[in-house]
Each structure stands twice: as C-alpha cells, then as structure tokens.
Amino acid sequence: MFCKVLSFLKKPDFKKAGCEPAEEEPEFKYLAKSKKSKRLKEIFSAIPKFETKRLVLRRIEEGDYAGMFEYSADLDVTKFLVWKPHATIDETKKHIAELQKRYENGQFYDWGMVYKENGSFVGTCGFTSFDLSRNICEVGYVLSKNYWGMGLMPEALDPIMEFAFGYLGFEKIEARFLDGNARSKKVMEKVGMIHEKTEHKGIFVKDGYKTVYTYSISREAFESRRPR
C-alpha cells in the first residue's frame, strides 16, 4: 500500500527548494547538536518549498486566512486536535500574523498546503517538535474537510519525511493521535508508521484526559519501502 500510494513521487531537490547550507558548512546531519539547533532556525526562517503531484508545500502567508479559517472553524476538523476551533476570521488572521514572527525566529516548522488544481489553501503539515539528543522528530497535520479521503496528507508527508531522513538526518519520525481519530491512524499506517506506544489518559486536551497513541517510522524502514 505504501509504495502504491507514493510511487509516483520523486525525491525532492533540496538544493532547488532553497535549503542548502553555506558552502563551507558540512551537511546538516553531520553537525554537532548545538549547531544543528542554530541551523534548524536558519532553515525554517526560510522554509524550503516542496512540490508533489497535486500539492505545493510552502510558507504560510498572511493571505491564507480564508482557507485556514474554513477548516480551523470546523468542529469535525478540530475534534481530535489540541487547539480549539477558531471563533472568528480575525482570530485566524491574528494566528497567521503570529506565525510570521515564529517563522522569522526560526521557531515554526509547518508548511502550508496548496491544492494545485484550484490554488486553494487546504491545510498544514510539518514538524511539531525535534529531539536533537535522540535524533527524533514529530510530525503533525490538518486538512480541510472538503479534501479528506483523497490521499493528500500521505502525499504531503512524503517530501517532509524525505527531508527529515534524507536532509536533516533524523533516525526516527514519530506522530501521535488521540483516541478515536481513525483517519489520522490510517494516514500514519499509509506512510509506513507502526504503533509504538499507547498512553492511557496520557494527555489533557480541551475537556479531559485522552488516550494518546504514538506511531513511528525508522530511517531504515522508510528507505526500504521507497522505490529508488
């Protein structure tokens, strides 16, 4: 299933995407931990642009507020997320303005997803955290309901996972979902992740403690599943 879904995708050109290091610097994966942290900030303050068959992944911009509000205000979309639905479009505008500052400081690691066929801003995906001591990162994602069930999120995750393993040199990628989020579980399975742990009542979200499932994929598993 994994290869069937992703086999049409090419390895992204990181140089073209604008994330090559300064000439005298070693590749990211060979840097010491302290330098990695500095370099991560540089990379994400000018977040590289990726393209898949149906999507462009790029920096989230001020003009994306209408597309973002559409899903951020949707109770079905936010049901299993840690953040509350946006009540007004102004809230979304403020959120995007805040994201601009976080990008500039290299402290935000999400791509905006644009559906090429109609140019709509349909969701976001990216890294929620990095553990540079253990060389592990975590991914997270959200997609507008009108685009569910088309395989778009596994497609978006492909260059991001390639970036995490191939360019950033992480050893493992993790993702977590809350009890009941069968769609998200399916996405994780489709990109080749396997169940790693279950934490019963492991996180307090909105109105109570929820069980949280962690899935993950190792570098070896990712590489062995990809056609080259």
Output 65 or 215, the one with its CB closest to ligand COA: 215
State the sign of the Cα–Cα–Cα–Cα dihedral 39, 46, 121, 118: negative
Site string for ligand COA, 44-63 (x = CB under 6 A): --------------------
Residue 22 CB, shortest distance to ligand COA, in Å, is 35
Please give the structure tokens belonging to residue 198: 């279950």
Confirm or reject binding of residue 77 to ligand COA (CB under 6 A).
Answer: yes
Cβ neighbours of residue 155 under 8 Å, at least 6 residues apart?
A: 5, 6, 9, 52, 53, 54, 55
Cβ neighbours of residue 179 under 8 Å, at least 6 residues apart?
A: 210, 211, 212, 213
Among 80, 111, 163, 170, binds ligand COA (CB under 6 A): 80
Q: Within positions 6 to 35, which residues make up the interface with ligand COA, using CB under 6 A?
A: none
Q: Letter for the amino acid at 226?
A: R
Output 52 or 108, the one with its CB closest to ligand COA: 52
Please provide residue 222's backbone torsions phi and psi, each rounded to the nearest 5 degrees.
-65, -45
Q: Within positions 169 to 198, which residues make up the interface with ligand COA, using CB under 6 A?
A: 177, 181-184, 186-187, 190
Closest C-alpha to 81, from 206, 199, 186, 190: 206
| C-alpha separations of 113 from 103, 127, 152, 168 in Å | 16, 14, 9, 21
Collapsing DSSP to helix, strand or coil, 200 comes out as: strand
Please give the structure tokens belonging to residue 1: 């299933």
Among 56, 73, 81, 221, binds ligand COA (CB under 6 A): 81
Confirm or reject binding of residue 141 to ligand COA (CB under 6 A).
Answer: yes
Output 185 or 219, the one with its CB closest to ligand COA: 185
The residue range among 30-38, 109-117, 139-147, 198-206 that interacts with ligand COA, by the rule CB under 6 A, is 139-147
Beta bridge partners of 103: none
The residue range among 75-83, 111-119, 131-139, 220-228 that interacts with ligand COA, by the rule CB under 6 A, is 75-83
Confirm or reject binding of residue 211 to ligand COA (CB under 6 A).
Answer: no
Q: Footprint of ligand COA on this chain (CB under 6 A)?
A: 77, 80-81, 141-143, 148-154, 177, 181-184, 186-187, 190
